[in-house]
Structure 1
Amino acid sequence: MSRLPTVAIVGRPNVGKSTLFNRLVGRKVALVDDRPGVTRDRREGEATLLGLDFRVIDTAGYEDEDPDTLPGRMRAQTIAAVREADVALFLIDARAGMTPLDEEIARWLRSESTPVVLAANKAEGRSGEAGILEAFALGLGEPIAMSAEHGEGVVDLFEHLRPYVEREPGDEEEAEAEGPLKLAIVGRPNAGKSTLINRMLEQERLITGPEAGITRDSIAIDWEYRGRPVRLIDTAGMRKRAKVEDKLEKLSVADARRAVDFAEVVVLLLDGTRGLEAQDLRIASYVLEEGRALLVAINKWDVAEDASRLFNGIKAALDEGLAQARGVPLLTVSGKTGKGIDTLLQAAFEVRDTWSARVSTGQLNRWFEEAVEKNPPPAPGGKRIKLRYITQVGTRPPSFVLFGTRTEMLPESYRRYLVNGIRKDLGFGAVPVRLALRSSQNPFDR
Structure 2
Amino acid sequence: MSESEFHETPDEDLVERVESISDEEAEQRATALEAGLESYELEDEDRALLRAYGFEEDEDEALGAAPVLAVVGRPNVGKSTLVNRILGRREAVVEDVPGVTRDRVSYRAEWNTKEFTLVDTGGWDQDSKGMASRIAIQSEVAVDMADAVLLVVDATTGPTSTDEMVVKMLRRKKKPVLLAANKVDDERGELMAAELWGLGLGQPWTVSALHGRGVADLLDEVLTILPEVSAVDTRVEEGGPRRVALVGRPNVGKSSLLNQLIGSDRVLVDNVAGTTRDPVDELIELGDKQWRFVDTAGIRRRAHQASGADFYAALRTQTALERAEVALVLMEVQDPLSEQDVRIVTTAVEAGRAVVLAFNKWDLLDDERRFYLEREIERDLGHVAWAPRVNIS
* Pairwise TM-score range, normalised by the shorter structure: 0.3 to 0.5
TM norm structure 1: 0.36
Q: TM-score, normalised by structure 2?
A: 0.41
